Every structure is written in C-alpha cells, then in structure tokens.
C-alpha cells in the first residue's frame, strides 16, 4: 500500500510527481509530500503501531517511502524520560526529556532524517548521496551511507568541532571542508547538485528527508500515552525539526490517534545565531540573515530555509522563542548533566537554557507538562566544556590520602550548581 500521492508546493499548491526535486518551478516555494490521510486513518491503528518494533518505522504510513525502509531500520524510539530533578531546578511540576543524544547510530536526531532520505534515494536508484552539514548530518550521512553501500560526499564549514570531523571521516566518506559559513557551504552544494546527479539529502531530497523529523513528534505523543505535551521546546537551525514536530502532532490529531492537539511550541537558538528567534520576538515578517558566532555550531545557520514556517508554527500554536548566550549554553549543558545524568551537545544546552529563560519569563507556566528536545550528544562537542570542569584530584593509592582528601573537601573542582554534591560546594 502506498500512502504518498505527490509533491506539492507549500506556497501556490502546484502539484508535482514524486521525484527528487524540492522547489516549485512557478513560485520557487518549497515542495512537500502529499499523503492520503483517509487511507492512513483507516489503516494505521494504535494496535498496529503497538505491535511493531520500537523504532521510528512503526509510523511508516506517515513517512514518505513507497516501500519498506532499507537504511536505518533500527533508528528512533529514543527514551522520553520524566525528569524530576531538572524540573525542580527549573521550577516546573512536570518535565520530560526526549533524549535523541542516544539515537542510533550516530547519536543525534539527524539519524531520523537520514534514514528516510537514504531509503528514498535507494527507491529512486541513486548510487551516490551527499549533504551540506553543520556537523551531525555529516556524521549520519557518512555512517548510513557506509552501512547502506552508497558512495557519499559530505560538505562542511572547515572550522567544525574536531569530533564532528573525525566522526564523519571514520566512515570513509569523501569529506570536503569549505572556507566559509554553513550558508556558503549550502549555496555551493546547490550548484554541485545542479551538476551531479546525486541524492543531496537536504537539497533535492529535502521534501522526503525533512519528513523524518516528524517521527520525533509521533514518539513523544505515544510515549506520553497518546497525547501531546502542553509545551515543547525545540532547538532550531534551519527550523525544519520544529516545523515537523508541529506537523506530526497535527497529523496524529487529523487521523484520530490523539483526541486534541494543544501543544504550544517554543523555538530555541543561541544569541550568536538567532535569526528566527529575533524575528519572532520582534514580530518581523521578514528574516535578517546573520553571520553566526556561537559555540552552538550545529545550530549555526544564518539564513534558515524553514525559518518562516518555524516562526508560523510558533506563533500559531501560541508558543514563543528565546535565545541565550554561549555562557548560558554551557550552564545548560552542565545543569542537564548534573540533574539528569544526560550529557548533551551544545544544542542541548541551548534547549535547556532557553527553557529556563522561558519559565523565568512566565512564558511557560509552572503547572503544565513540558518536553525538552535534546537532539545531540555531548561527547561530540567536548571543547565547549573541557576548560570549565577543572581537574580531578590525583592521590597515591593510599587510604589515608583519600581520607585526607575528603576531610579537607577542597580537593574536588566545584560543580556547576553551588548546592551540588556534598563535597563539591
Ligand atoms: C540539525 C540539528 C538541529 C536542528 O535542525 P533543523 O535544521 O532546525 O531541523 C537541532 N539539534 C541538533 C543537534 C542538530 O544537529
Ligand atoms: Zn509554487
């Protein structure tokens, strides 16, 4: 059974056949996959979902493949964890972490979009896949291309974090560093995509690729017992993930799997690259592209492709945006780690820090459910915190030296939270 009907322009509604293409010939609007929601409503029941393995493909009718997935079949269904210790610190009653820092196989939410894009690339018969990336996409395309027997080309700004570079090269991809920002990398890739017949996951494959992000929304709703949270905070680079989580909740409501959709969606950015947050907070209807300057490199897109739609999702659901300094990003990473035992990358620090700010501002109330989307793993951005943690004390292998150490209390570097561990204040 095939549930996708066509591609359709988001702006003028012009329909196109399902091919590897992403812009409208008439108005240059972005193309989106059209589904047969009537058929999905009939076929996709809660029982059917529950009977399937715990991965993102349990919602396959709502994803844009015309056959079963061939790449990334184990991706998704990451933990949604009730997070009482962090809730207490932030002053809210009901808080959950959706933890894509442990997504399979490359420890970020990008494995969701890449498994859709590469499975679709295989359907279309491509032998080579490619991407422009701020880091995590590079890791995921390289890994999944290796496992899926594709040739791959990956383009990144030359100054990404070393672990993002290493975590791409290890898979034997063709990695190219570009002297420029992500936006310049992306522009170059559009030119390359015009010349080489490759599946560029976030260019000509973008309508299919982007749909993979919806799975994070479906999972959150299922893990909450088939309802949406009242508030959800999502980090934004291009703004695609946020837009697709909104879409996912809307679809679950449309096909009757949840009774109501009353989620307010909040966007999180670092102030050093905050074009979407700035536009929303100032109620602008145009975006000012920016030149990124932040440690949150995975979110450093100065000219966000889906910024307009993300802003619309935020305002239409009654959510809001915030952005925070790099210092606050680091504090967010440490707070999440010390309260919940989850080591997130800089984007996760952005989400936690922005949630804290939105709660302090009274934008997110204290007595309604909140989900924070943690999208990437802290081991990939160690330089953000490496100088902040101090050094562990080193002693001889002697009981008396240890006893001396804990008696004096001064031997351990302080925790981020002054009321942290008993010995570390
Ligand atoms: C790519 C990315 C995002 C957001 O991406 P969008 O372009 O807004 O969909 C969020 N967090 C991490 C860690 C990412 O790598
Ligand atoms: Zn159009």
Please state, rounded to an integer, the average pLDDT across all residues of the chain: 96
Ligand 2 centre distance from Cα of residue 207 (Å): 14
Largest CA-CA distance found in the chain, in angstroms, rounded: 78
Probe ligand 1: pick from 99, 117, 136, max atoms within 8 Å of CB? 136
Q: Are 340 and 97 in contact (CB under 8 A)?
A: yes
**Mean pLDDT score, 239-255:** 98
Report domain extents, the chain: 80-106+210-384
Q: What pLDDT is recorded for position 422?
A: 52
- The SS3 call for residue 15 is strand
User: Across-strand partners of 191?
Assistant: none
Split at pLDDT 50, 70, 90, the class of 421 is low
**Is residue 323 pLDDT above 90, yes or no?**
yes
pLDDT at 138 over 80: yes
Ligand nearest to C-alpha 32: 2
Q: How many C-beta atoms surround the C-beta of residue 188 within 10 A?
A: 15
Residue 285 has pLDDT above 90, yes or no: no
Residues with CB under 6 A from ligand 1: 108, 110, 136, 235-241, 298-299, 345, 347, 375-376
- CB contact set of 101 (below 8 Å; sequence gap of 6+): 107, 108, 342, 343, 344, 345, 348, 374, 375, 376, 377, 378
pTM: 0.97
Q: Are 328 and 271 in contact (CB under 8 A)?
A: no
Q: Which CATH number fits domain 80-106+210-384: 2.60.120.10, 3.30.70.20, 1.10.1060.10, 3.40.50.1100?
A: 3.40.50.1100
Look at residue 342 and give its three-state secondary structure.
coil
Q: Is 386 exposed, middle or buried (0-12, 13-18, 19+ CB in 10 A)?
A: exposed
Q: Which ligand is nearest to the CA of 296?
A: 1
Our measurement of the distance from residue 352's CA atom to the centroid of its chain's CA atoms, rounded to an integer in Å, reads: 14
Task: Give the Å distance between the CA of 194 and the centre of ligand 1.
Answer: 25
| Burial of 258 (C-beta count, 10 Å sphere; 0-12/13-18/19+) | buried
Question: Mean pLDDT across the stretch 368-383?
Answer: 98
Residue 420 above 90 pLDDT? no
The residues with which 270 forms a beta bridge, in sequence order, are 273, 324
pLDDT confidence of 94, banded at 50, 70, 90? very high
> What per-residue confidence (pLDDT) applies to 412?
81
With bands split at pLDDT 50, 70 and 90, how would you rate the model's confidence at 423? Answer: low
Q: Where are the alpha helices (DSSP H) in 255-372?
A: 275-281, 307-317, 326-340, 346-360
Q: Which among 172, 174, 192 is positioned nearest to 184, based on CA atoms? A: 192
11 to 26, 79, 187: CA distances (angstroms): 10, 36, 22
Predicted confidence (pLDDT) at residue 409 exceeds the cutoff of 90? no
pLDDT in tens, 32-59: 999 999 999 999 999 999 999 999 999 9
Identify the pLDDT of residue 10: 97
SS3 225: coil
Question: Does residue 425 carry a pLDDT above 60?
Answer: no
Concatenate the DSSP letters of all residues of 402-416 into one string: HHHHHHH-TTSPPPS
Q: What is the pLDDT of residue 424?
A: 63
Ligand 2 mean position, distance from CA 8 (Å): 8
- Tell me, in angstroms, the distance from the centre of ligand 2 to residue 282's CA: 28
Preceding omega of 105 cis (within 30 degrees of 0): yes
Q: Per-residue DSSP letters for 68-129?
A: ---S-TT-----EEE-HHHHHHHT-S-EEEEEGGG-TTTSBTHHHHHHHHHHHHHHHT-SEE
Q: Which residue minimizes the CA distance to atom 5 of ligand 1? A: 237
Mean pLDDT of 260-280: 98
Instruction: Give the confidence band of 418 by pLDDT, cuts at 50, 70, 90.
Output: low
Q: Is the pLDDT of residue 30 over 70?
A: yes
Nearest residue to 62 (alpha-carbon basis) of 254, 230, 204, 220: 254
Q: How far is Cα 30 from Cα 99, in angstroms, rounded to an integer?
A: 29
Please, which residues bridge with residue 152 across strands?
129
> Taking 60 as the threshold, does the pLDDT of residue 130 lie above it?
yes
* pLDDT value of position 397: 97
Q: What is the pLDDT of residues 168-215, one digit of tens each?
A: 999 999 999 999 999 999 999 999 999 999 999 999 999 999 999 999
Q: pLDDT digits over 362-373, tens only? A: 999 999 999 999
């Amino acid at each position: 059974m095939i549930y996708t009907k066509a591609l359709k322009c988001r702006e003028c509604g012009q329909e196109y056949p399902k091919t590897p293409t992403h812009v409208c010939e008439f108005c240059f609007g972005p193309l989106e996959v059209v589904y047969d929601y009537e058929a999905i409503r009939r076929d996709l029941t809660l029982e059917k979902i529950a009977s399937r393995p715990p991965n993102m493909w349990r919602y396959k009718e709502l994803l844009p493949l015309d056959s079963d997935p061939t790449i990334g079949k184990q991706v998704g269904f990451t933990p949604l964890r009730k997070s009482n210790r962090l809730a207490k610190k932030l002053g809210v009653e009901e808080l959950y972490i959706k933890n894509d820092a442990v997504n399979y196989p490359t420890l970020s939410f990008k494995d969701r979009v890449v498994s859709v894009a590469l499975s679709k690339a295989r359907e279309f018969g491509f032998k080579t896949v490619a991407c422009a990336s701020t880091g995590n996409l590079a890791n995921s395309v390289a890994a999944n291309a290796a496992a899926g027997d594709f040739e791959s080309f990956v383009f990144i700004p030359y100054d990404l974090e070393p672990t993002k570079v290493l975590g791409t090269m290890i898979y034997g991809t063709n990695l190219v560093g570009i002297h420029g920002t992500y936006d310049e990398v992306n522009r170059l890739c559009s030119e390359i995509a015009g010349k080489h017949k490759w599946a560029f996951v976030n260019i000509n494959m973008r309508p299919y690729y982007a749909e993979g992000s919806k799975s994070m929304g479906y999972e959150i709703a299922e893990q909450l017992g088939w309802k949406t949270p009242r508030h959800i905070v999502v980090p934004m680079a291009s703004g695609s993930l946020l837009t697709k989580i909104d879409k996912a909740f809307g679809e679950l409501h449309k096909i009757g799997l949840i009774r109501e959709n009353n989620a307010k969606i909040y966007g999180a950015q670092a102030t050093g690259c905050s074009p979407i947050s700035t536009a929303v907070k100032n109620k602008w209807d145009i975006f000012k592209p920016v030149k990124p300057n932040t440690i949150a490199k995975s979110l450093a897109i100065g000219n966000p492709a889906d910024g307009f739609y993300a802003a619309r999702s935020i305002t239409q659901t009654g959510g809001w945006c915030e952005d925070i300094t790099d210092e606050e990003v680091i504090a967010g990473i440490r707070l999440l780690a010390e309260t919940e035992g989850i080591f997130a990358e800089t984007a996760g620090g952005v989400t936690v820090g922005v949630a804290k700010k939105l709660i302090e501002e009274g934008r997110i109330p204290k007595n309604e459910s909140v989900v924070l989307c943690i999208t990437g793993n802290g081991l990939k951005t160690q330089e953000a915190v490496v100088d902040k943690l101090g050094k562990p004390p080193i002693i001889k292998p002697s009981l008396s030296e240890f006893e001396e150490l804990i008696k004096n209390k001064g031997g351990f570097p302080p925790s981020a939270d002054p009321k942290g561990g008993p010995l570390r204040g």
